[in-house]
Amino acid sequence: MTGTTTACAGAGSAEVCASCSARRLSVCGVLEQEGLRRLNEAADHITFRAGEVLVREGDPATHLFNITAGDVRVHKLLSDGRRQIVGFLSPGDFLGLATGDRYAFSAEALAPGSACRFRKVDYRKILREMPDLEHALLERAAHELKAAHDQMLLLGRKTAMERLASFLVGLSDRARRAGGDGRLVALPMTRAEIADYLGLTTETVSRNTTRLKTRGVIRLLSMHSLSIERPSELLQLAGLEAEAVGVAT
């Protein structure tokens, strides 16, 4: 399962960036020609296979990542094995923001993909030289913090059904941002991973998924993709009636 990442030194040109499909979703989207070249110089372009470990909780925090393809799971463990997944990353997402001397989380690929990897010391220097990038990173951090607050509300106060519905609404939003229509949702993660993200068990996730299916709110297309049939009902179940989430009802 856990292999080593394949690194190839940056080519030094911004060509890789020019053709990078994740750029418009990423912090580097704010940079122009020269900045991209500079950033790319410091980047290792790595690829990873499903199940590969990018970061291990407790290890010295030496690198930062910009996910360019694939999906990544970020989680924390208790000593007895209880697991909390604190996020799922997709292309454009930044990995390593919430990092001190050591990683406080592990990161593992759900699906094969690729990333730009930076040595932390290099990245620090680059940030000093490029305030625009630092600004973009701060905006990203603010957004992540807001998402973390939402997740705290979910974990602390929502019922199992509300959690699942909120999760699906979140996936739908992300799908729309990535260019989809928001009805078709991919589930690259397993039920166990959904459970560990929502603070539930696989059984509870499964039961509530069935309930949503039975009620006609969603339709399972395969084990790892579904279609949202009644978005407004899903929003209600998520406990978000009042909040503006931009889903056509």
Binding site for DNA (CB under 7 A): 159-161, 190-192, 199-207, 209-210, 220, 222-224
Which 8-state DSSP code applies to residue 54?
A: E
User: Which of 143, 177 has the CB closer to a second copy?
Assistant: 143
Give the containing element (helix H, strand E) for 68.
strand 63-69
161 makes contact, choosing from DNA, a second copy, none, with CB < 5 to 8 Å by partner type, with DNA
Is 177 near a second copy (CB under 8 A)? no
Point out which span in 46-54, 97-105, 203-211, 218-226 binds a second copy (CB under 8 A).
97-105
Task: Yes or no: say if 67 and 89 are a contact pair by the CB < 8 Å rule.
Answer: yes
Point out which span in 2-10, 75-83, 182-190, 202-210 binds a second copy (CB under 8 A).
75-83
Task: Yes or no: say if 57 and 16 are a contact pair by the CB < 8 Å rule.
Answer: no
Tally Cβ neighbours within 10 Å of residue 102: 12
Is 16 near a second copy (CB under 8 A)? no
How far apart are the C-alpha atoms of 29 and 39, rounded to whole Å? 12
Give the containing element (helix H, strand E) for 47.
strand 43-48
- Angle 191-198/202-214 helices, nearest 10 degrees? 100
Among 60, 242, 246, 249, binds a second copy (CB under 8 A): 242
Contact letters for a second copy, residues 105-144 (x by CB under 8 A): x---------------------xx--x--xx-xx--xxxx
How far apart are the C-alpha atoms of 76 and 86, rounded to whole Å? 7
Tokens describing residue 62: 């030496």
Is 239 near a second copy (CB under 8 A)? yes
Whole-angstrom distance between the N-terminal and C-terminal Cα of the chain?
Answer: 42
Task: Yes or no: say if 83 and 108 are a contact pair by the CB < 8 Å rule.
Answer: no
User: Which of 45, 73 has the CB closer to DNA?
Assistant: 73
19 makes contact, choosing from DNA, a second copy, none, with CB < 5 to 8 Å by partner type, with none
User: Which of 159, 227 has the CB closer to a second copy?
Assistant: 159
How far apart are the C-alpha atoms of 179 and 42, rounded to whole Å? 30
Is 44 near a second copy (CB under 8 A)? no
**Sites of contact with a second copy (CB under 8 A):** 76, 78-79, 82-84, 86, 97-100, 104-105, 127-128, 131, 134-135, 137-138, 141-146, 148-153, 155-158, 196, 198-199, 239, 241-242
